Structure 1
Amino acid sequence: MSLKETIENEYKKSLKSKDKIKISTYRLILSSIKDLDILNRSGPNKKETNDEDIKKLFKKMMKQRAESIEIYKKNNRSDLLEVEQNEYDILSSFLPKQLNEQDTKKICEEIISKLGANSVKDMGKVMGEIKKQHADEIDFSKAGALIKQLLNKQS
């Protein structure tokens, strides 16, 4: 079953259980997927929307939610914070589990030593290799900061 079908099934379950939070979040997700479908059908590179496209969309949506969560925490807006957190949790449930900071650091160190990277100039090579091997399991904003830190220690 595709990711889109899974989401549609979850949406139907939430309708039956009358869970307002999930209903609104799944509507938001399905609407975003529909926009992505339209975008993919128009333009020069016509193609069907696949699970990878949807995962990229989810990562983008999660990043937006994470930024909003930080802002709401700073401004003590617990009402809005709760809504964003619920959306974030639902989105993350459809993506592979992200590695924690220790595991991410270990992978970064291994790839830096494997590639022989020794300065910040090599950061692009290291990031490229990490994306090839661990695309779904690493938060690249965190990995980028870790790699920069590790490469600065070496030089």
Structure 2
Amino acid sequence: MDMRERVSSALKQAMRDKAVDRLSTLRLINAAIKDRDIAARGEGNDEGVADGDILAILGKMAKQRQESARAYEEGGRLDLAERERAEIIVIEEFLPRQLQGDEVTKAVEAAITAVGASSIRDMGKVMAELKGKYTGQMDFGTVGPMVKGKLS
């Protein structure tokens, strides 16, 4: 079952269960996917977005909500922070398991070896290799400096 079908079936189940909060989050996910589909059609891609792109959308949505929850906590709005965290839980159901410390390090080293990177100029190749294999499984904002450190 592809990502689009998983989201759709979860949306239908949330409607049947009358799970209002879950339903609203799933509708946001569906809307984000449809927005990207429309943009892809404008670029000449009639197929819509692939699963990799949907994973990127979901990863971005989860990261946005984490930042919002942190901001709400700092502002003393714990009720809104909890709502953001609840949305993160729903979004992460569709994301693959996140790689942890040692796994990320091994993946970075494997990517450096795979592309034959030897200097900082090869960082783009390494990042492209990682994004191709691990989309949705790691935070590329934190991986970038790690790759840079290993190539320096």
| CA shift digits 1:54-73 (9 cap, x unpaired) | 22221221221122122223
My pick for the range that moved more, 56-65 or 92-101, is 56-65
Aligned to 1:48: 47
Aligned to 1:100: 100
CA RMSD of aligned residues (A): 2.3
* Distance change >3 Å, CA 46–CA 122, structure 1 → 2: closer
Letter in 1 for 2:54: I
1:129 aligns with 2:129: yes
1:36-87 C-alpha deviation (Å, 9 max, x unpaired): 232233x241322232332222122122112212222322321111111111
1:69 and 2:69 are equivalent in the alignment: yes
Work out whether residues 96 and 137 of structure 2, in 8 Å CA contact, stay in contact via their aligned partners in 1: yes
Structure 2 match to 1:23: 23
Q: Which runs of 5+ in 2 are unaligned?
A: none
Higher relative contact order (CA 8 A, sep 6+): 2
Equivalent residue pairs, number: 150
CA contact (8 A) 2:72 2:81 kept: yes
CA 1:134/1:38 → structure 2, altered by over 3 Å: closer, same or farther? closer
Q: Which moved more, 1:47-56 or 1:19-28?
A: 47-56
Write the deviation string for residues 82-115 of structure 1: whole angstroms up to 9, x where unpaired.
Answer: 1111111211111211101221122223444563
Within the alignment, does 1:79 sit opposite 2:79 as a pair? yes
Give 3-state SS (helix, strand or coil) of 2:11's partner: helix
Counterpart code for 1:86: A
- Counterpart check, 1:60 vs 2:50: no
- 1:123 and 1:93, CA in 2 relative to 1: closer, same or farther beyond 3 A? same
- The equivalent of 1:150 in structure 2 is 150
Amino acid at match of 2:9: N
* Structure 1 residues 124 and 36, CA gap change in structure 2 (3 angstroms): closer
Structure having the higher Rg: 1
Q: TM-score, normalised by structure 1?
A: 0.80
TM-score (normalised: structure 2): 0.81
CA distance in 1, matches of 2:23, 2:135: 29
Alignment of 1:106-117 (within 5 A): 106-112=106-112, 115-117=116-118
- Are the counterparts in 1 of residues 62 and 88 from structure 2 also a CA contact under 8 Å? yes
Matched AA of 2:2: S
